[in-house]
């Protein structure tokens, strides 16, 4: 179970997936535990984050990165700089 990061995300993928029409989520600098009940795909517009899957290695990403989290993953979010991202749950 791993986190996929496309850095930077090509404009062609943003257009193909219709990412600009997805909802936006924001979060100030903080740390919290999270469980993904469903797959999440997100595009960071702002921010810097390290996500550490339970039993796995930390993954860092930031503005311009397309990130996919698998369903069923337990992890720790460490938000270093406030996040603003487009997101979508499911396939």
CA R_g for the chain: 12
Tokens at 80, concatenated:
């270093």
User: What is the reported pLDDT for 55?
Assistant: 95
List, for residues 32-58, the tens digit of each pLDDT value.
999 999 999 999 999 999 999 999 999
For position 50, which CATH number holds?
Answer: 2.60.120.10
Q: Is the pLDDT of residue 1 over 80?
A: no
* Residue 17 DSSP code: H
Percent of the chain with pLDDT over 70: 100
Contact 36, 76 (CB under 8 A): no
Please give the residue range of the domain that contains residue 71: 4-89
Q: How many domains does the chain have?
A: 1
| Euclidean distance between CA atoms 38 and 41, whole angstroms | 10
User: What is the reported pLDDT for 91?
Assistant: 79
């Amino acid at each position: 179970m791993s986190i996929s990061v496309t850095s930077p995300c090509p404009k062609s993928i943003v257009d193909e997936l219709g990412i600009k029409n997805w909802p936006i989520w924001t979060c100030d600098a903080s740390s919290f535990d999270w469980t993904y009940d469903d797959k999440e795909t997100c595009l960071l517009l702002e921010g810097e984050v390290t996500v550490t899957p339970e039993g796995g290695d930390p993954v860092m990403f930031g503005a311009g990165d397309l990130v996919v989290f698998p369903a069923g993953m337990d992890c720790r979010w460490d938000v270093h700089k406030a996040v603003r991202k487009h997101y979508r749950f499911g396939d």
